[in-house]
Chains A and B, each alone.
Chain A
Amino acid sequence: MEPSFIKELSGIVGTDQTLIDTESLACYGYDSTPEHESRPGAVVLPGSEEEICRILALCHGAGVPVTPRGSGTNLSGGSLGRPEGVVIQTSRLNRIVEIDEENLTATVQPGVITSTLHKAVEAQGLFYPPDPGSMNISTIGGNVAENAGGLRGLKYGVTADYVMGLRTALPDGSLLRSGGKVVKDVAGYNLNQLLVSSEGTLGLFTEVTVKLIPRPPVKKTMLVHFPQLEDAALAVSRIIAARVIPATLEFMDRVTIRCIEEYAKVGLPLDVDAVLLIEVDGHPAQVEEEAAAVRAVCEKHRCSFFQTAATADEALKLATARRVALSSLARMKPTTILEDATVPRSCIAPMVKLIQETARKYDLTIGTFGHAGDGNLHPTCLTDERDTDEIARAHQAFAEIFEAAIAMGGTITGEHGVGLAKKKYLPRLVGESGLRVMRGIKGAFDPKGILNPGKVF
């Protein structure tokens, strides 16, 4: 990068918040996505919205690409910058601006950690449902940009369902306000929803206003063992057919169970095909009723064991085990390739079966877990990046898995985004017209194409 450009950049954020040394840049060449690396030209950590706008204006003028970054926990390569570009890390913008109890909203800076927001609103008896597995480190800005889902997605929805207002710095440094605290707003196109899941390609969020709901007074956590995979899958759709929408309905297969148990030691069974983690919440009477209905369905579908957490601690322990599923799998082998295939929930059993068969066909170890309630599965291949042959087979296997997901009416990513990792599958999913419209939108926001170029399409 030009020294004069760097000088202007550091003139905005300060030299100590401008990183250009080889060592620092090497540490921004990755995010949580395996197999993707790209070293940016510079990294800056702005301290205010104004600084962000000025950085964008500077880069826009110079035609320098900009990539937003929260905590770099995304699994699609979305926060990797370009060698000729600048990465803007939002971590310093980590203030909760306001919790508005009258309007039931919270307004935060983009670098606020998801679980920090949870704690702050829960202390006031309120609830912010989106809880990605990475919530202890992912930022709200990153969550909005990826439309992150979580364990509570089935009943409460995903990040998009809670975003009410955004302040977004556009590529030229101007500021776009969309939405706000109003519950109803039909003035023009719904830019809020368009910006959610834009993966940092349309604008950089500088402030996010989210909807809060009253905290459900009680919840019940249940863990159910199924010797047969089909029974578990059937139970998932029958629970919902029985008009019970659990807050959480998570699935773990045999490989995943083994790994979690090895790490978290929560007493998971090692001899069953599948385990479901189910949580129902709401008012006490309703929770009792729903828990009983869940139990009846599971027993009808030949579960071998049905455990209800007796204490909050026990419940937390069970839920924590699910949260660390991915990382526990990662203990087995050095390299973990996690995918995000999503199918209509009636197709869970065939999908899991297909994944297992594909793993066998390509001689791979693939553990599958995920948000069964919403059909979002995470087949995770345990491999070793030094074994190039195995890596090639893994990619072949995933190509087949995605093909099958699309054929079942599913999608190539339910929550992790397209980024770099899933780019090649997007045309197959959205078709020519889909791509054309998306490109048109990108052009309207970012005519010079400086914001997170090369991502999504």
Chain B
Amino acid sequence: MEYVKLINCMRCGMCLPHCPTYKETFLETASPRGRVALMRKIEEGELEASERLLEYLSLCLDCQACATACPCGVNAGEMVAEFKCERHEGRGLSVMEDLVLRKLLPHPDRLEAAVAPMRAYQRSGLQKIVRSLGILKMFPPAIGRMEGLLPELPARPLRRTIDEVTPAVGEERGRVGFFLGCVMSLVFSEASYATVQLLSALGYTVVTPKAQKCCGAPNMLAGDREGLLEAARFNVDLFAGHDLDFIVTDCGGCGAELKKYGHHLAGDEAAAAFGNRVRDISQVLSLHGDELREKLTPLPLTVTYHDPCHIAHCQGIRQEPRSLLKLVPGLDCRELAEADACCGSAGTYNIEKPEMSDRVLSRKIATIKATGAEVLVTSNPGCLLQLKKALAEETPPVRVMHLTEVLHRSLSPR
């Protein structure tokens, strides 16, 4: 870690009220300012990287709300992630990490095959039996949490069903590449299908190269920089073969990572060009607001929008999704208090740090309930998983939809 990054924090405290873990605990150790201080003390040799210290750091959600708030340009969340990454590096991967990060994620076929039993398990009715009998209580809690989060899986991942080329409706205005994202394709294939349909309806030919790999964000989190670079290299080359205006994704996490490819593969022109072309779906759709407005039909729903961290804090996209929702006739859009506060999903955080995740989540749920909305709209698979589960348990339940699902529903009402 560059020392100057650590001493740039002037300890003004401006970040404190934005940090979800500080808001829950009021502890300096659980604040951005405190996290930077801890890393700095290690660097200065005043503290050892003890188990406890690492435990404190690992309470960070990496939501990067602190970065948005910090006037000095300090990004405590990213620094903690980088710090953890540096410590992991060269340590080698555990058997489990190797399995997931190297043998599964980079190979969509295998990944899909691995998920197939889950789907069978759900379809067979076994899931219902398992859940009602509480068999999961016999397993480590992490497994139970993972199982509980999973919504009903689609029959087939989008990667399997989508055509490599979806032609533009009407005159072609441009060509875009579609980056699927593992979870979006596997779990939220309907939302991603909607994404492709919207693009095509607006005159884009959508190219979805089927060989594409995971964006590499999970590797980065585990300190597997090599795995990340491999994925980046592969994806850059794969998409370079097509003549594309944008590379579009409807996954906030993928978008944030893909935009950094130029930085990861520094000096590589193709990677820089790739990174510069990456757009969140809301950015592309916003370019054609007037046109979209004409195509949309009334949708009498009360909705509110939750800003995913990877969209709002990492990519700085806030206005676009809101303006898009406002285009839908009949849609009653209510602003959510603390809309850009993390929902507690944060990658695998909700499984690794269940207690804090639940506290952060409860706050989110309370604000959502306060709006009285029937539908919560968001646009990141982690948030979708987390909020779907939690909001289904509310009375009355609140539905959760991806931004593109709402727009698509209004585009072609069922």
Which A positions have Cβ atoms within 8 angstroms of B?
19, 21-24, 26-28, 30-32, 34, 45, 71-73, 89, 91-92, 113, 134, 136-138, 263, 324, 326-328, 330-331, 334-336, 385-386
Of B25-33, B90-98, B259-267, B297-305, which stretch is located at the interface? B25-33
B161 at the interface (CB under 8 A from A): no
Contact assessment for A34 and B10 in the assembled complex, using a CB-CB cutoff below 8 Å: yes
CB contacts under 8 Å to A, within B24-55, are 26-29, 31, 34, 37-38, 41, 46-47, 50, 52-53
Cβ contacts under 8 Å, A134 to chain B? 12-14
Known contacts A26-B46, A45-B26; A137/B10 CB under 8 A: no
Q: How far is the CB of B238 from chain A (nearest CB, A)?
A: 37
Cβ contacts under 8 Å, B4 to chain A? 334
Contact assessment for A24 and B10 in the assembled complex, using a CB-CB cutoff below 8 Å: no
Cβ contacts under 8 Å, A31 to chain B? 11
Size band of the interface chain B makes with A: 20 to 34
Q: B86-123: contact bitstring with A at CB < 8 Å (1 yes, 0 no)?
A: 00000000000000000000000000000000000000
Contact assessment for A32 and B26 in the assembled complex, using a CB-CB cutoff below 8 Å: no
Q: Could you list 17 A-B pairs, sorted by A, with CB under 8 Å?
A: A22-B50, A23-B47, A26-B37, A27-B28, A27-B31, A27-B34, A32-B10, A32-B12, A45-B27, A73-B13, A134-B13, A328-B71, A330-B10, A330-B12, A331-B71, A334-B4, A335-B10
Contact assessment for B73 and A331 in the assembled complex, using a CB-CB cutoff below 8 Å: yes
Determine the main DSSP class of B at the interface with A.
loop
Contact of B11 among A22, A30, A113, A331 (CB under 8 A): A30
Instruction: Give the CA-CA distance A444 to B252 in the complex, in Å.
Output: 61
Instruction: Give the CA-CA distance A27 to B35 in the complex, in Å.
Output: 8
Instruction: Give the CA-CA distance A330 to B7 in the complex, in Å.
Output: 11
Cβ contacts under 8 Å, A72 to chain B? 11, 13, 28
Contact of A327 among B37, B52, B72 (CB under 8 A): B72
B16 at the interface (CB under 8 A from A): yes
B8 at the interface (CB under 8 A from A): yes
Contact assessment for A137 and B71 in the assembled complex, using a CB-CB cutoff below 8 Å: no
Cβ contacts under 8 Å, B56 to chain A? 23
Instruction: Give the CA-CA distance A376 to B272 in the complex, in Å.
Output: 48
Contact assessment for A73 and B12 in the assembled complex, using a CB-CB cutoff below 8 Å: yes
B17 at the interface (CB under 8 A from A): yes
- Pick from B28, B37, B46, B53 the residue with the most CB of A within 10 Å: B28
Interchain pairs with CB closer than 8 A, number: 87
Contact assessment for B29 and A24 in the assembled complex, using a CB-CB cutoff below 8 Å: yes
Known contacts A24-B27, A26-B37; A334/B12 CB under 8 A: no
Contact assessment for B13 and A23 in the assembled complex, using a CB-CB cutoff below 8 Å: no
Contact of B53 among A23, A113, A335 (CB under 8 A): A23
Instruction: Give the CA-CA distance A374 to B177 in the complex, in Å.
Output: 59
Contact of B10 among A23, A45, A138, A336 (CB under 8 A): A336
Contact of A23 among B11, B16, B26, B52 (CB under 8 A): B52
Cβ contacts under 8 Å, B37 to chain A? 26-27, 30
Cβ contacts under 8 Å, B70 to chain A? 327
Contact assessment for A331 and B72 in the assembled complex, using a CB-CB cutoff below 8 Å: yes
Q: How far is the CB of A271 from chain B (nearest CB, A)?
A: 23
A-B CB proximity, top 8 nearest: A327-B71, A27-B28, A91-B26, A27-B34, A330-B10, A73-B13, A334-B7, A330-B72
Contact assessment for B10 and A324 in the assembled complex, using a CB-CB cutoff below 8 Å: no
Q: How far is the CB of A80 from chain B (nearest CB, A)?
A: 12
- Pick from B4, B29, B31, B53 the residue with the most CB of A within 10 Å: B29
Instruction: Give the CA-CA distance A72 to B50 in the complex, in Å.
Output: 26
Contact assessment for A27 and B12 in the assembled complex, using a CB-CB cutoff below 8 Å: no
Cβ contacts under 8 Å, A92 to chain B? 26
Contact assessment for A136 and B14 in the assembled complex, using a CB-CB cutoff below 8 Å: yes
Q: How far is the CB of B53 from chain A (nearest CB, A)?
A: 5
Q: How far is the CB of B275 from chain A (nearest CB, A)?
A: 23
Cβ contacts under 8 Å, B10 to chain A? 32, 34, 327, 330, 335-336
Instruction: Give the CA-CA distance A327 to B33 in the complex, in Å.
Output: 14
Cβ contacts under 8 Å, A27 to chain B? 27-29, 31, 34, 37-38
Cβ contacts under 8 Å, A331 to chain B? 71-73
**Known A30-B11, A73-B13, A385-B7; further 12 A-B contacts with Cβ < 8 A:** A22-B47, A22-B50, A23-B29, A23-B53, A32-B12, A134-B13, A136-B17, A137-B14, A137-B16, A263-B73, A327-B10, A334-B7
CB contacts under 8 Å to A, within B134-157, are none
Instruction: Give the CA-CA distance A313 to B170 in the complex, in Å.
Output: 41
Cβ contacts under 8 Å, B7 to chain A? 334-335, 385-386
